[in-house]
């Protein structure tokens, strides 16, 4: 067994971000199905929110690199 516990933290953060981005994407799909004419707005907001959630995971990854 080599490596550090930081890698586990990184994985946990990835799980969290995965759930977050998945739910954002799913809800956006539902919204688009309901109101196809609002596609542009929904897509822009979806990407923005996904980027914010992804940022949390990336911060965790950087922390994992640094803490190691």
Partner 1 sequence: MKELRSLVAIFYLIPALVLVAGFPVSMAAQEHSTTSQETSHTMGEGTHADSTAAGHEGEMHGDTSHEAHACHFHGDVEETEYDATSTAFHHISDANVYSIGSFNFPLPCILYAKGHGWDVFSSGKFNFDFFGHGEGRSAYNGYVLDAGAVKRIQDASFPSGSVALEGFVHEHKMVDGENKEISYACYQGQHYLLESQSTADGGLFGGGITSFYDFSLTKNVVTMLLIAMLLAFAFFSIAKAYKTRDSMAPKGLQSFIEPIFLFIQDEVAKPFLGPKWEKFLPLLLSLFFFILGLNLFGQIPFLGGSNVTGNLGFTAVLALITFIVVTINGNKHYWSHIVWMPGVPAIIKILILTPVEILGMFIKPFTLMLRLFANITAGHIVVMAFVGLIFMFGKLGESLAGGVVGAVVSIPLTIFIMAIELLVAFIQAYVFTLLTASYIGAATEEHHHAEKH
Q: Cβ of residue 32: shortest distance to partner 1, in angstroms?
A: 19
- Count Cβ atoms below 10 Å from residue 57 Cβ, excluding itself: 19
Per-residue interface string for the shown chain with partner 1, residues 4-43, x marking contact by CB under 8 A: ----------------------------------------
In Å, how far are 31, 49, 57, 62, 67 from 6, measured between CA atoms?
Answer: 37, 26, 13, 10, 7
Per-residue interface string for the shown chain with partner 1, residues 37-56, x marking contact by CB under 8 A: -------x--xx--xx-xx-
């Amino acid at each position: 067994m080599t490596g550090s516990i930081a890698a586990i933290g990184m994985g946990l953060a990835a799980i969290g971000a995965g759930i977050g981005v998945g739910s954002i994407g799913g809800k956006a799909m539902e919204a688009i199905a309901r109101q196809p004419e609002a596609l542009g707005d929904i897509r822009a907001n979806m990407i923005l929110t996904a980027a914010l959630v992804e940022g949390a995971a990336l911060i965790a990854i950087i922390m994992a690199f640094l803490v190691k």
